[in-house]
């Protein structure tokens, strides 16, 4: 909690108000010392009325230059913050004329202090989020008591399971516009129960959401991914306990690597099968494998094979899906076999071809 007005802030207020009204202004600390003033000669000098105001909490107006020794006409008012006097502001001049400027200085001081306190609070919140998320995804628990405080701060129940969400920014995205993306990410995690996130400089966001919330509100993540399909890729890791989130983080990264190779913008690790293996293989090797198997096929033939395998290698179901005659499906399969040297109907060759198709997405 802020308990005083800094010298620099007090001088800033003094200069601003002095420019408006032209009267001499002093900020006096609770010991009666002037520490900011429109008159440099008054700095670090003792102010008897200022000390009296700080001690009693009462505003004192001086109506005559002879009323107090060494004191000019003016007004001196206490500045309260959180029910405590933290400074006194004094302005020289006819009290009726300078009173409004004294109160203006008081209000400006309180508003600026409030803004500083809010900023400090948000910095503290951000620091806690950073510590919590980095601790659990890296399995580093150097300050368990502080981590427990962070769990309580964000109402995270360690008895439940959580998922790590990674949002990777396209490297070609103009980060000048990042503030708009920041707002949407903030809205996303605010909308998901027990959702918190951090910005991981320079190109991604890392968040944690409760698995219960994900089951009920995953449509929010899907909608976010669709909206920002040209800007980000979003991957959701497996559900783990809070202290095992390093594993969820690892699976989210694997899912992101898969997204980097295919024309998709969103994936949940749970939905991946062979793609998990492929994401662990260097992209160059995967591309070489896919090219080796499918290089003699055109795009129409690749699409035909995808439909064939999506329909569990059923001739009739494939024919129905493509509005073809069953014999036409057989002819196309024979043509593909002739081109590739692999029979799409045989299990071993079918696995090799399906892996190549998945790799080439």
Question: Helices (H), strands (E): how many in the chain?
Answer: 13, 11
**Cβ–Cβ < 8 Å for 154, 209:** no
Per DSSP, the three-state class of 91 is strand
pLDDT of res. 277: 65
What pLDDT is stored for residue 166 in this prediction?
Answer: 96
The encoded tokens of residue 23 equal 């009267």
User: What are the pLDDT tens digits along the chain (361 aa)?
Assistant: 566 788 888 998 999 899 889 999 999 999 999 999 999 999 999 998 999 999 999 999 988 877 776 577 899 999 998 888 999 999 999 999 999 999 999 989 888 888 877 766 666 888 889 999 999 999 888 888 888 988 998 999 989 999 999 999 887 766 556 778 888 999 999 998 789 999 987 789 999 999 998 988 899 999 999 999 888 999 999 999 999 999 999 999 988 888 877 778 999 999 887 766 666 666 777 788 888 899 899 999 999 999 999 999 999 999 999 999 999 999 999 999 999 999 999 998 998 898 888 776 5
For residues 262 and 140, what is the distance between their CA atoms, to the nearest angstrom? 33
Beta-carbon contacts of residue 208 (< 8 Å; ≥ 6 apart):
132, 133, 136, 156, 162, 163, 164, 165, 194, 195, 196, 197, 245
pLDDT value of residue 93: 92
Strand partners, 136: none
Contacts of 189 (CB under 8 A, 6+ apart): 195, 196, 197, 207, 209
Task: Output the pLDDT for position 8.
Answer: 84
Distances in Å between the Cα of 36 and the Cα atoms of 22, 274, 293 are 16, 69, 79
Q: Angle, to 10 degrees, between the axis of helix 299-310 and the axis of helix 347-359? A: 120
pLDDT of residue 44: 93
pLDDT recorded at residue 361:
58
Determine the pLDDT at residue 232: 92
What pTM was estimated for this model as a whole? 0.57
**DSSP string across 142-190:** S-HHHHHHHHHHTT--TTSEEEEEEEEEPTTS-GGGHHHHHHHHHHHHH
Query: What count of other Cβ atoms lies within 10 Å of the Cβ of residue 185?
Result: 20
């Amino acid at each position: 909690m802020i308990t005083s007005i800094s010298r620099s802030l007090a001088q800033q207020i003094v200069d601003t108000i002095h420019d408006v009204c032209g009267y001499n202004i002093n900020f006096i600390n609770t010991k009666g010392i002037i520490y900011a003033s429109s008159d440099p000669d008054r700095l670090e000098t003792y102010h008897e009325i200022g000390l009296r105001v700080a001690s009693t909490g009462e505003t004192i107006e001086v109506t005559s230059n002879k009323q107090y020794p060494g004191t000019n006409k003016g007004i001196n008012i206490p500045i309260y913050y959180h029910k405590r006097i933290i400074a006194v502001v004094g302005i020289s001049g006819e009290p009726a004329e300078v009173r409004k400027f004294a109160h203006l200085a008081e209000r400006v001081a309180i508003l600026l202090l409030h803004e500083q306190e809010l900023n400090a609070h948000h910095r503290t919140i951000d620091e806690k989020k950073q510590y919590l998320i980095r601790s659990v995804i890296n399995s580093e628990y150097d300050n368990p008591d502080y981590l427990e405080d962070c769990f309580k701060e964000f109402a995270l129940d360690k008895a439940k399971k959580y998922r790590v969400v990674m949002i990777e920014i396209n490297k070609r995205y103009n980060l000048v516009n990042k503030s708009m993306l920041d707002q949407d990410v903030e809205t996303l995690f605010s909308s998901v129960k027990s959702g918190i996130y951090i910005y991981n400089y320079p190109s991604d966001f890392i968040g944690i959401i409760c698995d219960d919330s994900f089951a009920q509100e995953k449509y929010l993540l899907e909608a976010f991914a669709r909206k920002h399909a040209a800007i980000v890729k979003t991957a959701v890791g497996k559900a783990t306990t809070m202290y095992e989130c390093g594993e969820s983080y690892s699976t989210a990264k694997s899912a992101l690597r898969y997204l980097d190779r295919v024309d998709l913008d969103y994936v949940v690790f749970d939905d991946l099968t062979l793609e998990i293996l492929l994401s662990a293989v260097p992209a160059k090797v995967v591309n070489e494998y896919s090219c080796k198997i499918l290089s003699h096929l055109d795009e129409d033939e690749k699409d035909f094979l995808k439909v064939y395998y999506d329909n569990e290698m059923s001739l009739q179901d494939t024919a129905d899906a493509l509005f073809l005659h069953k014999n036409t499906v057989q002819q196309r399969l024979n043509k593909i076999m002739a081109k590739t040297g692999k029979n799409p109907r045989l299990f071993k060759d079918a696995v090799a071809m399906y892996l190549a198709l998945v790799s080439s997405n």
